[in-house]
Structure formats: C-alpha cells, structure tokens
Chains A and B, each alone.
Chain A
Amino acid sequence: MDNLVSPGVHTPDDARAEPAVRRKMRLLFEKTGPARLISHLDLMRTLQRAFARAELPLAFSEGFNPHPYLSIARPLSVGVESRYELLDFGLADAVDPDALPACLNCVLPAGVRVRRAYPASEGRKSFVDIAWAGYEIRLAWGRSAAHAADGLRALFAGGPLPVLKKSKRGEQTIDIAPLIRLFALTPEEEGLLCMDAVLAAGAASLNPSYVLEAIRRHAPALWPDRQSVLRVSLLDADGTLFV
C-alpha cells in the first residue's frame, strides 16, 4: 500500500489562506470491529499518527509544550461501536475537505473509517450543543425473543427506572427514565431484538450500559445471552442530527 497522499489533496495556499488556528475542520467517522476496543486516549494518538502518515499537518498550539488541536465529541466506552463519531481538528494547511476521507482512509487501522469531512468554522455548532445520542442496542438470546419484547416495552414505557449509577463520588441511585428520549423495539431475526434508544448526551448524560443495567435490575428474567451497542447518531437539543 502506498502510504503517501496524492499531491492533489492540497489546495494552493493563495489569497484564501488564513492563520493556522482558523482552519478548523470536522470529521465524521466510524469506529467498528477491532477499533471498538481502542480507548479514547489511544484513539486520539491513532488519529494523530494517521494525519502524519497522510502528510496532513495538524495545527499545533503555541507555547512551551505545543500539542495538536484534536477533540472527539462524547467519547465512548471501550467496546462500544460507532457509526457516528465526530472529530474537530485544526490543519496548518488549506485542504480540500472532499479529498480528506479518501486520503485518510488509506492510512487508518482496521475498523476506523472516515465518512465525511467539512470545514467546522462556517456557523457550525460546537460540541457543547450536543444533547442526545442515538444507539442501536442489540440483545440476543439462544432461543426465541418473543417473550422478551413485550416485557422490555413495558419496562421502558416511561415509568420511573431507578438504577445504581457509579461516579467518582461513589454510588447513587438515579431515575434514568427522563434521560431516555426515545425507545423502540424491532425484532430483527429469531432470537435477536434491536432497541433503538436516544439517550441524553448533554450536561446530563446516560451511558448505554445503564439501559442494560436497568434490564438486569428490573427484569432479570429478560436478561439476554449477548448484547452489543452501536452509536448511530449525535443530536442537538431539538433532536435534529448534529453535523
């Protein structure tokens, strides 16, 4: 594989040139398969090295210990896959955003794939405006899942759902029901249910593992043999896709 980027990617540094720090870009990428096991900090380093391999110079902060500006929206727990990851970063050179996905994808490790790139400066909202995140939580049983569907619908019908939440300050029981905006259940195949859940991801936020914890606590009979979590979207306060 040729690791070098085709020279066509860089647009000429002409009159549009702006100071390094202002070439802010946003990347929409996926993190699936083996990459779901890459931790947040490791992912930052992995991306930084991919930029270097692609010869896309990142903008560095000034000062004694310069570091590149890289920021991932709402980092996920290790083990959670995502089709909707956002990265904000600054480039030191002007680059055609449409050429970015192709040139990064040939230097990224297995499971990390860039879907889109766009300038982040033109009136785009910043990550603080993210309020919700959409997930597909798949539950699987070795046998038919028919028995579980009704029970799960009842459990997530909107009534209070107290769950023990661990934080740095210790354990605390909270009601997660207000942190769930949408809950829908779709049978996918024999023994497999998909829960579409939109969970709080703003100032108050809900890790999808607590949805599973609620099942374990309140409906242990419905506990699946296997489960997997995929993030599919980030949304702003009114529920529109955050891009």
Chain B
Amino acid sequence: MNRLEDLLPTLRKPARYVGGEYNAVMKNKDAVELRVAFCFPDTYEIGMSHLGTRILYGLMNELDFVWCERAFAPWTDMETMLRTERLPLWALESGDPLSAFDVLAFTLQYELSYTNVLNMLDLGGLPIRAADRDDAAPLVIAGGPCAFNPEPMADFIDLFVIGEGEEVTAELMDLFRARRRHGWSKAETLRRAVLLEGVYAPSLYAVSYREDGAVAAVAAQPGAPARVTKRIVRDLDSVYFPVKPLVPNTEVVHDRIMLELFRGCIRGCRFCQAGFTTRPVRTRSVETLVRQGLTSLAATGYEEISLTSLSTSDYRPLEGLCDALLGECQKRRVGLSLPSLRADSFSRALMERVQSVRKSGLTFAPEAGSARLRDVINKNLTEEDLMRACGTAFEGGWNHVKLYFMCGLPTETDEDLAGIADLAHKVYALGRATAGRARGVGVTVSTACFVPKPHTPFQWEAQDSVAVFAEKQAFLRARLRKQITFRWHAADTSFLEGALARGDRRVGAAVEAAWRSGCRLDGWSECFSSEAWHKAFASCGLSLAFYAARTRAEDEVLPWAHISASVDNAHLWRERTRAYAGTASPNCREHCLGCGASRLLAGGVCDG
C-alpha cells in the first residue's frame, strides 16, 4: 500500500476510497466464515446515499459468521491509477481485493450502472462472465429494482434476488455458509439456492427466440421454478432496520438519516415501476419510526431526518409522526424533510411541521401538463390541487417551487406539452401575486424523458426516439417564458435506459461490447457516449430501437415473463386499456382492483 499512500491524495475526493467512517463495521477476517463485499456500481457519493445499501450492510454484519464490507465504482482517475499500478479494486473495510471474498453482492438501482458492474468485476481481478468464474471465484449475486428484468445482466451474475432483500439475504447467507462447510460446487450451490423463494439463477434457464427477434420461450431446468416470484417483508415493524448507519467523512448526495414510513404505493401511476413492483403497501408504526429516528440521531449526529417512501403523504399518521419527532429534532437542531409529497395533500399543517426547523425547496410532480394526460397515466391530480398546494407554499414563505414532468408519455400531443408551460406560468403568476414584489419567486420546470418499464401497464409501449424527444424539448422551450427555469434530462441516456430496461439476454453481449469499448459511468454525462453504445449494439447484431422503440403485442413473451412481481399481466393490460380510454383508476384505498399482489400477504387482504 506504500505507493498507494502517495497516489491517493492526488485523486479527486480521495476520502471515498479509504473507509474509516464512523459506524463502519470492522471484524477479524479469520474469525468469520463468510466474507461478503457489498458492491454498489456507482460512485461512493451515490452508493452511500442509498437506504437499501445501509440496510443490507447492517443486516449482514448483524450475523456473527459474516463480515460484510463495501466497494464502489472508482472514478475515472482512480481506475486509471489502479490499471497503471496494477492494483486490484479493494473493499473499504479490510483493503482486500474483491477476489478475496466469498460473495460479491451487487445492487442494480438503474440500468446505466450495468457497465460499472463489469468494470468492478474486472478491476477486482475476476472474469466478468459467470460461466468463466470457477468454483473458487466469489459467487456474484445481485438484487435491486433492475433485477425485475435480470436478463441483460444474466451472463454476468450467478444469482439474482427478486424483491425485498432482508429475509432472503439472511437465508442465502446460511446457504453460503453451508456451501463453505460442505465444499459444494457453484452449480450445486445454485441448484440449492433456487429452492429459496425469490431466487433466480439464470444459468438454469434457457431462452429461445422467434425469427422476428422476440423471445419465443424461457425454459427452466428441472428443479428450478418456472416462474420466480418476488419476496416481500410482511411486517416492517419487526424487520431489521439500520439505526447505526455509517457516517461518511466526505459529503454524499443524501447525507442524512432516512426513515422508511412504508413500502409499496396505493396510487398505481401507470408509468411507475416501483409503484407496481413494491406492492402491496406495508406500513411501519409511528412508535417504531420514532424509536428508529431517535436511536439513529444519537448514533450518527446527523442534522437532518428524511421521511422517505414512494408517496410520503399517503402515510396516514404523518402529522402525528412529525409531531412525535419534532420535539427532539428542535432540541438537537435537526431538520425534518419530506421529499415525496403529493400536491393534493400538502396542507398548511404539514407545511408548518416541515419548515419549523429548516426550509428547503419544494417539489411537486404533476408528471403531465394536461388533465387528460394525467388521467392516461393515472396521476389523479387536478390543477386545483396543484394551485392550492403552491399557494400554501408561497403563503408559507417558500419562494421557489420545482415542478416535475415527464415527456413522451403514451398518447401525448402538442396540447399536453403546451399544458406544461401553461401550468408553470400559472404557478409563477400565483407566486408573484402571493409573495408580492418584495420576494423573488422562482419556478423550475424539470422534464424527464419517459422510459417504459417492465411490470407496468406501459411495458408494451414504444418509447419516443431521440429525435422526437428533441423536437418536444424545443417545442416546450419555445413556449416557456424566460422567468421559468427549464431543466431537461438528456434524451440519449433515456433511450439507452429504455433499451436496457426491456432488453433480453442477448443484450448482455452489447453491454460487454460497450464496456470493452470504454463505456463506464454511463449515468454521468461527462462519461456517456451514445455513439459507443449504438456501435456496441450493432456489433452484436442488435439495435437499441428494437428494445426501446418497438410496440409489443399483447401475447408477446416478454423477456422478464418468468419473473413475477406478483401483479398479474391481465391487470397490467387492463390498466393499459383504461389508459388509452383516458380513464383513471381508483387507488388501492378507494377500491381494490385485484391486481394480484394481495396474494403475498398472509390474510390475502391489502391494508391500502
């Protein structure tokens, strides 16, 4: 490590490569039976902000026979240094190379991190393809939202975990310990692993294709389930939660305590993958959350608690929870933040609770510019709701409101796009009228490109091409007055995201080709090359458009057909039909649409 000590200070943000943070778990490597490296395939600042990483790191380290460490994707200067000095990528706690571990556990949070997985395996000194890693190599497992379509990564990962990780991770750790004790081969281990619910081993499934390029069938080997159903945690009050999270020594994106109020979402917005894959709703009690919040404060010294969930304001006792936390928060000068509030529930009462300590910017997400299109996507938000919420915010002293939209939604027309501008102007005018001339009012319109995702009612849709996205951006920009700040997500990265999200197993070769041609850190605009990706797909006889911009027939076998989020395809298709009819659907609390997710609950009835 001597030469390394000289070189580290010359890198950008070197503190992210050495560990030593408060609450990092150090164990004696000779005293544990299983060494796991939790690998986050993006930078330290992103990975350390992720609640799931905190949960699984803490959960695995609670097991006395496991030592779980962390590894992150190196920034380009670090990668260059590792390659020139011929040093392997190491885990932060022990400094040992990734090849020294029994298990590498990746989390796949977004498709644009796929090349980072390959890069980390390679820098760790391991063959990137699962088939090339022998019995002595670490077992490479992966989970996270992208595992709901694992196929593009199937060639590289030995085993996927579908759904929520807490329970199945503990079961897998037991299995891997048994592997070590009995000396099972990798093949034997995988055969046993798929007997656990929610575990998918791609090598036990064969994919065949039709002449037109679509998937013909996915056949499971004997002993492997024909369909792998996701895991959920039924009782959030008894499941492990990290109340002593790591406190980074260098600033990360979400540098705060995160409390998770509930999982799932009652809303059923038709574009939202998480809204379907995390069903049904399960709630934590106020009592548990207050206890977790106060313990975490004492153990970290953080100055902010964030109440997270897909739609925080759907937590029934939200005001009570805020009140229960506020006393201690004020005493310690700790701020409370609620990142995902629905505009129709943003009340004065709630506002006063969030702002009592600190004032941050407010974001509302109408998602679409017209009432018609909001019905298509089932957003169930009226213009009056939005105006009332913004009015409350301006009256309450907020000066800046950010509005979040999606562009390229199914059935979208120029009128819908013009509606985005109209809404922004109305909010701006309201701000000026409420705040008066004394205060500067700011409205930001932030527009993302719609990416159709597996396991949603829009999983069959064609995504807009990059050219169409560009036209729509120009159209909207021309309509927005200069007082409105306009932010736009790059269309070419969204298009790649679209291709990877609905890719089949052949896309793995394109991911490898892209990585070999130098693609990595694709989520970072300074590193992303659209051209390199198109070349990589072409070199494998594939095209991005086939996966991103093609409408699928109802009876097409989708590449993820053998992975079940426990929401029936029939329900998704019904929702798609209603979308095209412009009909909104009731939320789970108003009326159960029988999506199928309730099967995962003991009583078979969702709380909503």
- What is A's interface to B at a CB cutoff of 8 Å? 3-4, 33-39, 41-42, 45-46, 48-53, 55, 60, 66, 77-79, 107-111, 226-228
Contact: A53 with B299, CB < 8 Å? Answer: yes
B298 touches A4 (CB 8 A): yes
Contact call A52/B21, Cβ cutoff below 8 A:
no
Give chain A residues whose Cβ lies under 8 Å from the Cβ of B22: 46, 49-50, 53, 107-109
Are A78 and B14 touching (Cβ within 8 A)? Answer: yes
Q: Which of A42, A52, A108 contacts B15 (CB 8 A)?
A: A42
1/0 per position for B293-308, CB-CB distance to A under 8 A?
0000111111100000
Residue of B nearest to A224 (CB): B6
Docked Cα-Cα span, A52 to B244, in Å, equals 14
Which stretch (B50-58, B246-254, B498-506) binds chain A? B246-254
Question: How far does the alpha carbon of A54 sit from the alpha carbon of B342 in the complex, in Å?
Answer: 37
Asked whether B333 is an interface residue with its Cβ less than 8 Å from the other chain, the reply is yes
Nearest CB in chain A: distance from B321 CB, A: 22
Whether A37 contacts B247 by the Cβ 8 Å rule is no
Please give, as numbers and ranges, the residues of chain B lying within 8 Å of A53 by CB-CB distance.
Answer: 22, 298-301
Known: A42-B15, A42-B251, A79-B9. A34 touches B300 (CB 8 A): no
Q: How long is the Cα–Cα vector from A36 to B18 in the complex, in angstroms?
A: 10
| A49–B20 touching, CB < 8 Å | no
Residues from chain B with a CB closer than 8 A to the CB of A38 are 15, 249-250
Alpha-carbon separation in the docked complex, A50 to B303 (Å): 11
Given the complex of chains A and B, what is the CA–CA distance between A94 and B8 in angstroms?
A: 41
B251 touches A52 (CB 8 A): no
Name the interface residues of B287-323: CB closer than 8 Å to any CB of A: 297-303
B211: Cβ under 8 A from any A Cβ:
no
Interface residues on B, range: 20 to 34
Which single residue of chain A is at the shortest CB-CB distance from B26?
A: A110
Q: 6 closest Cβ contacts across the A-B interface? A: A79-B9, A52-B301, A49-B301, A110-B20, A34-B20, A53-B301
Q: Which residue of A lies closest to B18 (CB)?
A: A34
**A45-B251, A52-B303, A52-B332 known, 10 other contacts, Cβ within 8 Å:** A3-B244, A37-B17, A37-B249, A42-B251, A48-B301, A51-B301, A52-B300, A78-B14, A79-B10, A111-B20
Contact A39 B5 (CB under 8 A): no
In the assembled complex, 30 residue pairs joining A and B whose CB atoms fall closer than 8 Å, in A order, are: A3-B244, A34-B20, A35-B20, A37-B14, A38-B15, A38-B249, A39-B15, A42-B15, A42-B249, A48-B301, A49-B22, A49-B247, A49-B302, A51-B301, A52-B297, A52-B302, A53-B299, A66-B333, A78-B9, A78-B15, A79-B8, A79-B14, A107-B22, A108-B22, A109-B21, A109-B24, A110-B19, A110-B24, A226-B2, A226-B3
What residues of B have a CB within 8 angstroms of the CB of A109 in the complex? 20-22, 24, 247, 249
Q: For the complex formed, measure the closest distance between the CB of B251 and the CB atoms of chain A, giving whole angstroms.
A: 6
Residue on B nearest A80 in the bound complex, by CB: B9
Assess whether B9 is in contact with A34, with CB atoms less than 8 Å apart. no
Q: How far is the CB of B127 from chain A (nearest CB, A)?
A: 31
Total A-B Cβ pairs within 8 A: 88
Q: Using a CB–CB distance below 8 Å, which chain B residues touch chain A? A: 2-3, 5-6, 8-10, 14-15, 17-22, 24, 244, 247, 249-251, 297-303, 332-333
Residue of A nearest to B6 (CB): A226
CA distance A41 to B300 in the complex (A): 18
Query: Chain A residues with Cβ under 8 A from B300's Cβ?
Result: 49, 52-53
- Minimum CB–CB distance from A48 to chain B (whole Å) comes to 7
With A52-B332, A109-B21, A226-B3 as contacts: A35 and B301 at CB distance below 8 Å: no
Cβ–Cβ < 8 Å partners of A110 in chain B = 19-21, 24
Q: Whole-angstrom distance between the alpha carbons of A157 and B509 in the complex?
A: 64
Q: Report how far A22 CA is from B204 CA in the complex, Å.
A: 70
Distance of A89 Cα from B343 Cα, bound (Å): 42
Cross-chain contact of A46 among B5, B249, B297 (Cβ < 8 A): B249
CB distance from B27 to the nearest CB of A (A): 14
Across the interface, do A42 and B250 meet the contact criterion of CB distance under 8 Å? yes
The minimal Cβ–Cβ distance linking A152 to chain B, given in whole angstroms, is: 19
A77: B residues at CB distance < 8 A: 9
Q: How far is the CB of A110 from chain B (nearest CB, A)?
A: 3
Find A228's partner among B5, B250, B333 (CB 8 Å cutoff). Answer: B5
Closest to A43 in B: B249
Min distance, Cβ B29 to any Cβ of chain A, angstroms: 17
Q: How far is the CA of A60 from the CA of B303 in the complex (A)?
A: 13
